[in-house]
Structure 1
């Protein structure tokens, strides 16, 4: 289902079809993933990311002064990737997993506009676990859109979205359970 977005393209699927219940996928991802606590460069200073992450795929990935070496796709991630590719009609060779342990974990506003993603990358964002609000802010007009990312939901950002919009996940005051987000992408 398309979501109207000036200067960009968003699509939403309420539930990605998988052979397991969402709770089982979440539990398996938490326990089977090689989670890391990374330090990134933001405005010239090093900061510990407020979440855990992992990188799987065919190529290294660089952002915010960090280079992630890829681990090979696990059988679980291969099955999820195939379902995401089927749902979006696009191919992906890498996935960044982010583990938001509770309401204090977050993702700062950013665009996935690294050169190795190409000019108009398609980023497929799949969520499991606690609902969090995904914030998009237009780079010029400052228009803001807030989308609840629900358990099992798939958001596709494509076209000129990364050129024109920033996105992130804020900390919250309300207690939140664990959430894992997988962002599938194609590294060129």
Structure 2
């Protein structure tokens, strides 16, 4: 992908470790369904979410400002594992629980000011494999689709957020739940 630094590690979390991690995330994360503004109307986000991080690392997107919940052990462990792999000191994580194929995330870039000029986003996926789409902001013919299997790490860095948008689209097929964790550095 031109104008991008994108890396996919399909088996970052070993298969044998995934069931225990899934159960811990399901049971220990404080999942919420927030309301967002969509064409002037308040609607429930089409997924469940949670925000964890270092004290004072709030995050604003889609008109919502998140105050971080303190790190829980399982999230701190994943953060430390990502540091060992990437060398990036992530200080926050946005979690999304896609309950079925109708839960989704629309086109966007992770380019909020608090993420800095060239954010590094480490995205871990667990559960149902989902399609992840990219589209270039100015060269409309440039598109890319990736399958994100359970246990995978997708790392987006460099100029990626300046030039590309991404989404997790709805699916007409019946899908099992998926948990996605996007680790970030809030400046």
- Counterpart in 2 of 1:16? 12
Task: Normalising by structure 2, report the TM-score.
Answer: 0.94
- Counterpart in 2 of 1:125? 123
Q: Provide closer, same or farther for how the CA distance between residues 139 and 48 of structure 1 changes in structure 2, counting only shifts above 3 A.
A: same
- Counterpart in 1 of 2:173? 174
Paired residues of 1:95 and 1:185 also in contact (CA < 8 A): yes
Distance 1:51 1:17 in 2: 23
Choose from 54, 63, 68 the match for 2:66.
Answer: 68
- Shift of residue 46, structure 1, vs aligned partner: 2.8
Distance 2:34 2:74 in 1: 23
- Counterpart in 2 of 1:101? 99
- Shift of residue 18, structure 1, vs aligned partner: 6.4
Q: Does 1:57 align with 2:53?
A: yes
- Counterpart in 1 of 2:35? 39
Any stretches of 5+ residues in structure 1 without a counterpart? Answer: none
Q: Provide closer, same or farther for how the CA distance between residues 45 and 119 of structure 1 changes in structure 2, counting only shifts above 3 A.
A: farther
Q: Number of aligned pairs?
A: 184
RMSD: 1.4
Structure 2 counterparts to residues 113-152 of structure 1, below 5 A: 113-142=111-140, 143-152=142-151
- Shift of residue 20, structure 1, vs aligned partner: 6.1
Structure 2 counterparts to residues 151-170 of structure 1, below 5 A: 151-170=150-169
Distance 2:98 2:15 in 1: 24
